[in-house]
Structure 1
């Protein structure tokens, strides 16, 4: 089922939670709503579910207006961060609950409910827990049971609010891969809220980046990461270095480094900002490289196969972060406290205080 958000606004007192948002979620798509706390992503999810009413604007499910439709009539499955399982019920009873509270005329018989619950428990690979209770399961297992319960009523839309937020990093990584595989099997239109950029980029078909109630960028994960629409998206999607530049005739200069910025062809000696990710910083051990900046290595951190450097240059007011492989680091013979030369291999140039990308 497709979902259309049409010019939706939502305020809580003086706080604007959703600011004139329009989006369409395609049938069978897994979309991540990504943004910091207070960006409006959870409120938008609750408006889709019918748990919040928009101040204005419309919500349409598969072309039909659902704005005033009660939550019980929307065929929506909702999974919360903290599982919300009934502690006094077994796993089986938790998953069966939504089926057993259906109106009498729509309620399946006991045999059908049993078969459906056991099928769902097999789908989430937890059929062996049917007679256990939530407190006997791990956090990751409880979250999978919560998902099975949401799927039991055959929702046309699945909404997940920070579904893995209460779990540790290792379990989160395992569950998000599992969720991706599950979605590929069931193909239900799904929207999940997260503030974890790695989670959004790894799991989803599409990422919607939100900030202060507005959509900053909407697109495929690789497009969002490789071509951020503005500095906010660049900063939010992982570590990034900021260099102050001068733009002249389509070229942004950082010291001796020249960066192509063709959309600024008409600018003359204008201030600019160049954003460069740590893995896009080339590092050299000597000065014999054109267009490189002299730097001093302030800190070396080894993290598995990766070496992270913190460097200081005259051209940046901030510490410059660079990442390279352990093999490359050893090959260069770099040492903490020593010198290096760096050059951006890939960058984006923006005007200060503007949301227009141009590089």
Structure 2
């Protein structure tokens, strides 16, 4: 079974459970200001049991402030935070059963890996001391679950950044939280490490059935990791949906251009068709002026052919698995297509496949 199919089945199971179970988290009209700056603006959101939600947005949009409000590190000016059926808005962070994994792990440098994980156990369990932390069954289980059981006796300075993130998550899970919050957890990792660490963390949360929220500005990370994505802009949640919905049907052109690469062209819609520099594009929209959005992979790059929009290849950016091809059309517009296979040079023609998203003019 492929990982993609497994993820689809997991997502369906989460949705089915959410229809009958109490939400793991409810945010009801959260507001937070710092002086004259409104950081969070009337945010409402629900998280299903076992669901992994990504909050995606640019730097300064309020996503980390929202995470701190959920964790109890900030007090909202208005609104409520409910974990399960409990209103925890007025409770301090340590009484919420919410675990927070910071950006760079923040491990205790003077404790071993096992001792760091053991430190996350409830207070009464820590009374037994840290000396033999590696022998504790709950610690061993978490270390094995995250594939770091061979690191139990090492110090934080002796492990990699990816291993440190796994240790930080194990420590967070040791307190048996109802909700896990991860704040830009992969931002300090090399690109080659991110995929493996993401896979391990997602698999662990799935196995434990713990609901989690990941805050990130990385579109690829959000789309590949989460069951649902909440896009945040200027303190508001502007769209929530499954990753493929956010990518294929963004609510407006701003979201379209933030979540992945987008080709946005002006046009006029008549009877579900927009005439553009790339020819007629099918859309599901009312008549009127506006802009049509295509993803670069919807644009085919073909040998020069009469009757098709044509132009010159200006730039090819090769990524190994595919490439972006920038084409200057004879009509003067520049568009980017994403292709696999041989890299084109010189003169080409373009053809659109599939429908576009149309956004009426304001």
Work out whether the TM-score is over 0.5.
Answer: yes
Whether 1:170 aligns to 2:192 is: yes
Among 347, 350, 359, the residue aligned to 1:339 = 347
Cα deviations by residue, 1:317-339 (Å, 9 ceiling, x for unpaired): 4x311121124x5xxxx42xx22
State the aligned residue count.
Answer: 336
Task: Please give the residue correspondences for 1:130-141 in structure 2 after superposition, counting only pairs within 5 Å.
Answer: 130-141=152-163
Residue 45 of structure 1, CA deviation: 1.0
Structure 1 residues 279 and 108: alpha-carbon distance in aligned structure 2, compared to 1, 3 A threshold: same
SS state of the match for residue 98, structure 1?
coil
Residue 315 of structure 1, CA deviation: 4.8
Structure 1 residues 315 and 45: alpha-carbon distance in aligned structure 2, compared to 1, 3 A threshold: farther
SS state of the match for residue 54, structure 1?
coil
1:244–1:315 Cα contact (<8 Å) kept: no
Whether 1:58 aligns to 2:80 is: yes
- Looking at structure 2, the residues matched to 255 and 145 of structure 1 have their Cα atoms a distance apart, in angstroms, of 52
SS state of the match for residue 154, structure 1?
coil
2:102–2:182 Cα contact (<8 Å) kept: yes
Task: Please give the residue correspondences for 1:70-81 in structure 2 after superposition, counting only pairs within 5 Å.
Answer: 70-81=92-103
Whether 1:299 aligns to 2:315 is: yes
TM normalised by structure 2 equals 0.87
2:178–2:210 Cα contact (<8 Å) kept: yes
- Looking at structure 1, the residues matched to 278 and 327 of structure 2 have their Cα atoms a distance apart, in angstroms, of 17
Q: In the alignment, what sits opposite 1:357?
A: none
Q: In the alignment, what sits opposite 2:252?
A: 230
- Looking at structure 1, the residues matched to 242 and 317 of structure 2 have their Cα atoms a distance apart, in angstroms, of 32
Structure 1 residues 344 and 117: alpha-carbon distance in aligned structure 2, compared to 1, 3 A threshold: same
- Looking at structure 2, the residues matched to 232 and 257 of structure 1 have their Cα atoms a distance apart, in angstroms, of 23
Whether 1:320 aligns to 2:329 is: no
1:3–1:25 Cα contact (<8 Å) kept: yes
TM normalised by structure 1 equals 0.88
Task: Please give the residue correspondences for 1:105-116 in structure 2 after superposition, counting only pairs within 5 Å.
Answer: 109=128, 114-116=136-138
Note the residue ranges of structure 2 that are not aligned, 5 or more in a row: 1-22
- Looking at structure 2, the residues matched to 63 and 197 of structure 1 have their Cα atoms a distance apart, in angstroms, of 32
Whether 1:352 aligns to 2:361 is: yes
- Looking at structure 1, the residues matched to 274 and 93 of structure 2 have their Cα atoms a distance apart, in angstroms, of 53
Residue 132 of structure 1, CA deviation: 1.2
SS state of the match for residue 326, structure 1?
coil
- Looking at structure 1, the residues matched to 332 and 176 of structure 2 have their Cα atoms a distance apart, in angstroms, of 55
Residue 8 of structure 1, CA deviation: 0.8
Residue 206 of structure 1, CA deviation: 0.9
Q: In the alignment, what sits opposite 1:220?
A: 242
Whether 1:42 aligns to 2:64 is: yes
- Looking at structure 2, the residues matched to 256 and 59 of structure 1 have their Cα atoms a distance apart, in angstroms, of 48
Among 266, 278, 302, the residue aligned to 1:244 = 266
Q: In the alignment, what sits opposite 1:356?
A: none
Structure 1 residues 108 and 89: alpha-carbon distance in aligned structure 2, compared to 1, 3 A threshold: closer
- Looking at structure 1, the residues matched to 262 and 332 of structure 2 have their Cα atoms a distance apart, in angstroms, of 13
Residue 247 of structure 1, CA deviation: 2.6
Task: Please give the residue correspondences for 1:71-150 in structure 2 after superposition, counting only pairs within 5 Å.
Answer: 71-99=93-121, 102=123, 104=124, 109=128, 114-150=136-172
Note the residue ranges of structure 1 that are not aligned, 5 or more in a row: 354-359
2:118–2:126 Cα contact (<8 Å) kept: no
Q: In the alignment, what sits opposite 2:177?
A: 155
Structure 1 residues 345 and 151: alpha-carbon distance in aligned structure 2, compared to 1, 3 A threshold: same
Q: In the alignment, what sits opposite 1:27?
A: 49
Whether 1:311 aligns to 2:330 is: no
SS state of the match for residue 89, structure 1?
coil
1:88–1:133 Cα contact (<8 Å) kept: yes
Among 193, 199, 208, the residue aligned to 2:215 = 193
